[in-house]
Structure formats: C-alpha cells, structure tokens
Structure 1
C-alpha cells in the first residue's frame, strides 16, 4: 500500500512541476525561461488555460492526498 502511494506521489510531483512550468508567466522569471516559449504557442486560447488550471488543481489535490495518506500510514 505504501509503495503504491509513494509511486503516485512521485508521479504527481513530476507532473506538478511540469504543469507549473507550463503556466503563462506574469513577468520575468523561471516560468518565462522554461515554460514561456512553449506556453506562448498554446496560450492564445482561454480554454487551454482553463484546462491547464484545472489539471494543475487536480494534480495538486492528488499530491496533497498522497502526502496525508503516507503520513497516516507511517504513523507509529
């Protein structure tokens, strides 16, 4: 059980990093350096931005649930 949750946590963490970098930056910074060029191609559509926001929130929720579940399972 712990191994499955740990794998889900690792996958959610990697996906979360990717999704955050894909967001359109509001100023200079890491989001413009890494994700700015890629997201500018897809950033014109507000539907894509909304779907990216939803996917980021869902991934963050999965990440949070995995952290709580692992914390409860490792409790002595």
Structure 2
C-alpha cells in the first residue's frame, strides 16, 4: 500500500512540474525563458488553456491526497 502511494506521489509530482511549465507565462520570467516558444503555440486557444488548468488542479489534488495518505500511514 505504501509503495503504491509513493509511486503515485512521484508520478503526480513529475506531472505537476510538467503541467506548470506548460502554462502560458503572464510576464517575463522563468516561464518565458524555458517555455516561451513552446507555450506560445498552445496559448492561442482558451479551450486548451482551460483544460490545462483543470488537469493541473486535478493533478494537484491527487498529489495532495497522496501526501495526506502517506502522512496518515507512516505516522508513529
């Protein structure tokens, strides 16, 4: 049980990093430096941005649930 939750936590963490980097940057910063050209092709459609927001929120919720579950299981 603990190994499955740990694997889900690792996968959701990596997916969260990827999804955050795919978001369109609001200003000049790290998002423009790393993903400026790539995110500009996705930034034109509001539907794509909305779906990316939803997927990021769902992934964050899965990540949060994994953290809480591991904390409850591994509590002394």
Distance 1:56 1:34 in 2: 18
Quote how far apart the aligned CAs of 1:36 are: 2.0
- Aligned residues of 1:2 and 1:70 also touching (Cα < 8 A): yes
- Aligned residues of 1:22 and 1:36 also touching (Cα < 8 A): no
CA RMSD of aligned residues (A): 0.6
Give the structure-2-normalised TM-score: 0.96
- 5+ residue gaps in structure 2? none
Distance 2:64 2:71 in 1: 11
Give the structure-1-normalised TM-score: 0.96
- Aligned residues of 1:5 and 1:70 also touching (Cα < 8 A): yes
- 5+ residue gaps in structure 1? none
Determine the structure 2 residue equivalent to 1:19.
Answer: 19
